[in-house]
């Protein structure tokens, strides 16, 4: 089985090393810049559980067109970077191949297979490139509960959790498709604790509600999860934010109120830096639209009031714009 990790950053690098070490597939990686140069020169190192695991891949490149067609493309890009790679991802897929998208928040294929218009989401796929080229029927989605950072090029540090909820938006309601089961089996064979979820949208809503306030508020305050949990004022703000996310999810047909313990969601936590904060500190673009902008768009569609989201969203958009300035 040929597997390409398209975007072998923090999350993608973790997957790539585990799959390559377990020899469950022929693994290639697409990366860029200094990180790619380090991988090409020395391989990719994963620091986890007190040990370093170093791997050199079948191929490591920034040009996906040099790779053969793949059975599975695992996309580790952030949501805002994915549309520009639509052609490259589509070009990698074998005739019966599929692409697994692991970005945080609402995903670009969301409207596929549900009641209502079958169309791309302009905030997440502005020109419809992913919808037209990759095509939603070839997409899998999932949530990654796994704490990873890149402290230096060519090195990924895994600090916490190893839970991967993977689903197929094309499957019949409540069903696990054969292609999804194959991907889950692949993850499990690599030591990654994957589970097949019969409702992938619900899985993504759950993760967004659980960690979205950490990400957004952490990016704005530059506090890690532990520091945010120690502040009663920030906990209260995050509680109001979570309440709005729950209301939006419920209006979209996914009631998660019984699944969320508000005290646990806003309280004490390990000192992990959420992904959006990691990007702010590295002056990289942040996942504003997938994690917050699309929430507001859904709220406007259904008439849900979101005063906290309406305040946080323009601040995050402004922060995102500032990261591109010298």
Look-up of token digits 């690098």: 13
Nearest to 276 by CA among 324, 229, 216: 216
79 neighbors 103 (Cβ within 8 angstroms) = yes
SS3 180: helix
Q: DSSP for 270-295?
A: -SPPPHHHHHHHTT----HIIIIIHH
Strands (E), the chain: 2-6, 26-30, 44-48, 51-55, 59-61, 70-75, 93-101, 139-152, 155-167, 193-196
Q: Which of the following is catalytic: 2, 56, 207, 264?
A: 207
Structure tokens, 215: 């990400």
21 neighbors 55 (Cβ within 8 angstroms) = yes
Backbone angles phi and psi of 321, in degrees to 5: -60, -40
Nearest to 106 by CA among 89, 130, 132: 130
- 2 noted as active-site residue: no
Alpha helices in 93-231 (DSSP H): 129, 178-189, 200-221, 225-229
Catalytic residue annotation: 207
């Amino acid at each position: 089985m040929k597997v390409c990790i398209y975007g072998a950053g923090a999350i993608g690098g973790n997957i790539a090393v585990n799959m390559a070490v377990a020899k469950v597939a022929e693994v290639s990686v697409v990366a860029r810049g200094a990180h790619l140069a380090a991988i090409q020169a020395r391989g990719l190192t994963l620091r986890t559980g007190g040990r370093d695991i170093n791997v050199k891949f079948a191929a490591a490149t920034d040009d996906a067109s040099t790779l053969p067609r793949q059975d599975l493309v695992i996309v580790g890009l952030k949501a805002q970077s994915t549309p520009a790679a639509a052609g490259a991802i589509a070009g990698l897929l074998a005739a019966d191949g599929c692409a697994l998208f692991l970005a945080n928040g609402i995903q670009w294929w969301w409207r596929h297979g549900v009641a209502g218009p079958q169309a791309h989401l302009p905030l997440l796929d502005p020109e419809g490139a992913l919808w037209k080229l990759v095509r939603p029927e070839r997409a899998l989605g999932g949530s990654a509960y796994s704490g990873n950072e890149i402290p230096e090029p060519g090195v990924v540090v895994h600090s916490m959790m190893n839970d991967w909820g993977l689903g197929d938006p094309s499957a019949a309601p409540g069903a696990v498709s054969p292609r999804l089961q194959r991907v889950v089996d692949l993850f499990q064979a690599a030591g990654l604790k994957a589970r097949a979820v019969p409702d992938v949208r619900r899985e993504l809503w759950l993760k967004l509600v659980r960690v979205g306030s950490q990400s957004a508020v952490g990016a704005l305050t530059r506090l890690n999860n532990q520091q945010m949990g120690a502040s009663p004022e920030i906990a209260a703000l995050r509680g109001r934010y979570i309440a709005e996310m729950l209301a939006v999810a419920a209006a979209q047909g996914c009631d998660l109120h019984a699944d969320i313990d508000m005290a646990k969601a806003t309280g004490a936590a390990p000192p992990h830096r959420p992904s959006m904060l990691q990007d702010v500190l590295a002056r990289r673009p942040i996942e504003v639209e997938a994690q917050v902008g699309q929430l507001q768009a859904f709220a406007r569609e259904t008439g849900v009031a979101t005063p906290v989201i309406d305040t946080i969203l323009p601040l995050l958009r402004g922060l995102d714009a500032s990261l591109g300035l010298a």
